[in-house]
Structure 1
């Protein structure tokens, strides 16, 4: 295991900059998720750590050693890709042990490490099979096993679950989590799926246009987003945003929406009367039975999901999503009335996008 540090990393393709002065410290044994929309630079950053992309400026350190000039093999990292990249003519055991064979390890050592990784990943009964005889989830476990046998200092995952169906993704998430808990190897995981990041990572780093917007534990980013971008990216369904003006009602701070609706906000929000703001409402914070500001609008769409129902309704000229109890009597075309507690109303400056 080893710590990983990025010092003022820049990356440009010719005159086009894609990574802007990124610095990040990843502790020994920590599981970090790099998240952000497509094109934000997260895979490029991972490939620079791996040595697959040249760094334009800055340093990458692994275990306290600057590795800019080292090859990927010399960095003692193992990478799991979106594609399984298994050799079709080799068995599972041969695929898992191939890198060890290239490194000159003895047959005894290779067999021991392959069997140990196979037990960890429930592949023991599949060791004699070829990749064509495996399911997608089994192939991804083999790809993970190939990384595990090397006992690397750092695991790098580049959207490893994006090729799997929804059920398999949930299963493989659990297996990656269990793997990290067993081996405690420093892990950096790239994904555009914030649910994967929330469930897997000790800490999430949110990237946007080659810069770090915010980093913190999953619950920190969920409860205290630094700006509009992070607030809209973390949480599923996504946070609702509505334009308004800072106001007051009955002596308490509030935001007046376009249609005149007053939404109370916590007194801790640093707003000035008349300030143009955006409020953020998480769908799961909109309640049919709770206390707080009342919000009313016409129901546009009802999506039952079982235990919960997602309801799209109109509020102040915008479409807003609420997550309510699955048995709630909500119907298309009817008026929907929900409430939101002042402490659960997020407020952002309209100009800068920063949380207030």
Structure 2
């Protein structure tokens, strides 16, 4: 195992710079997720750590060694790709042990490592099968096993679950987390799915336009986003945003929505009267039938039952807003909807800079 450090990493294709001075320290044994929209630079950053993409400027350190000039093989990393990339004519055991064979490892040692990895990944009964005889989830486990047997210093995952159906993605998330808890290898995981990132990672790095917007634990990003971008990207369903102007009311600061609705704000918010802001309210914090510091009302536009919960989309200050309510809540299209919210659960962002206040 080893730590990973990025020091002012930059990547340019000719005159076009796509990674703008990214610096990041990843501790030995830590699981880091790189998230962001398509084109934000997360896969490019991962490929630079792997040595598959040339670094335009800056340094990558694995352990305490600068690896810029080293080949991927010399960096002692193992990468799991979106595609399984298994050899169709080889068995599971042969696929998992192929890289070791190329490295000159003896057959008894290969067999030992393959069997250990197969036991860890519940592949013991599948070692003699060909990839065509496996399900998608089993093939991805084989690809992970091929990486594990190399005993790398760092695991790199490039959207490994995006080809799987929803049920398999949930299953494989659990297996990847269990695997990390067992082997403890430093891991860097790229995904566009913020739910994957939040369930797997010790810390999440939110990227946008080749720059880091925020780094923190899943709960830090959820509870205290630095800006509008992070607030809107982390959390599902996404945070509701509402234009407002800061007002002053008895008992503390408040904000007035465009339709005149008053929303009480926490006294911890650093706002001034007359300031143009965007309020951020998470759908799960809009409580139907519960007490709160403020009450919002609107007409029900869409009702989306999900089982234990129901997503209610309703009109709020002329915009659609989403509330997450109990699955038994009697929401119906076209009827009035009312919800309360606590002042300390209202996020406030400056309209011009987008920064949290």
Q: Which bin holds the TM-score, normalised by the shorter protein?
A: over 0.9
Aligned to 1:132: 132
Query: What corresponds to 1:271 in structure 2?
Result: 271
Q: Is residue 2:284 matched to residue 1:297?
A: no
> In the TM superposition, what is the alpha-carbon distance from 1:290 to its structure 2 partner?
2.6
Q: Which residue of 2 aligns with 1:205?
A: 205
8 A contact 1:10–1:20 mirrored in 2: yes
Give 1:351's aligned residue.
352
Q: Which residue of 2 aligns with 1:24?
A: 24
1:237-276 to 2 correspondence within 5 Å?
Answer: 237-276=237-276
Match of 2:63 in 1: 63
SS in 2 for 1:146: helix
Give 3-state SS (helix, strand or coil) of 1:52's partner: coil
Shift of the alpha carbon at 1:63? 0.7
TM-score normalized by structure 1? 1.00
In structure 2, distance between residues paired with 1:281 and 1:305: 20
Q: How does 1:47-62 map to 2 (within 5 A)?
A: 47-62=47-62
Aligned equivalents of 1:229 and 1:327: distance in 2? 33
CA offsets per residue over residues 246-282 of structure 1, 9 Å max, x none?
0022242001000000000000000010000000000
- Offset, 1:243: 0.2
Q: Kindly indicate whether the alpha-carbon contact (under 8 Å) linking 1:296 and 1:338 is maintained by their aligned counterparts in 2.
A: yes
Give the equivalent residue in structure 1 for 2:334. 333
| Aligned residues of 1:38 and 1:192 also touching (Cα < 8 A) | yes
- Secondary structure at the counterpart of residue 188 of structure 2: strand
3-state SS, counterpart of residue 117 of structure 2: helix
Structure 2 unmatched runs, 5+: none
Provide the rounded CA distance (Å) in 1 between the counterparts of 2:219 and 2:291: 23
Per-residue CA deviation, residues 85-128 of structure 1 (Å, 9 max, x unaligned), is 00000000000000000000000000000000000000000000
Q: Which runs of 5+ in 1 are unaligned?
A: none
Q: CA deviation at 1:194?
A: 0.4
Q: Distance in 2 between matches of 1:63 and 1:106?
A: 28
CA offsets 1:219-262 (integer angstroms, 9 cap, x no match):
00000000000000000000000000000222420010000000
| Alignment TM-score, normalising by the size of structure 2 | 0.99
Q: Give the C-alpha shift of residue 335 in structure 1.
A: 0.6
Contact kept in structure 2, 1:249 and 1:262, CA below 8 Å: no
Q: What secondary structure sits across from 1:113 in the alignment?
A: helix
How many residues align structurally?
356
C-alpha distance in structure 1 between counterparts of 2:140 and 2:4, whole Å:
25
Query: Over aligned residues, Cα RMSD in angstroms?
Result: 0.5
Corresponding residue for 1:230? 230
For residue 291 of structure 1, report the CA deviation from its aligned partner: 1.8
The 5-angstrom pairing of residues 35-50 of structure 1 reads 35-50=35-50
Alignment partners' CA distance in 2, 1:324 and 1:86: 45
Find the residue that maps to 1:236 and give its secondary structure.
coil
Distance 1:147 1:348 in 2: 43
The equivalent residue for 2:312 is 311
The 3-state SS of whatever aligns with 2:169 is helix
1:292 deviates by: 1.8
CA drift of 1:140 comes to 0.1
Q: Distance in 2 between matches of 1:55 and 1:44?
A: 10
User: Whole-Å Cα distance in 2 between the matches of residues 30 and 46 of structure 1?
Assistant: 15
Q: In structure 1, what is the Cα distance between the partners aligned to 2:251 and 2:345?
A: 19
Out of 161-170 and 243-252, give the one that drifted further: 243-252
User: Residue 281 of structure 2 corresponds to which residue in structure 1?
Assistant: 281
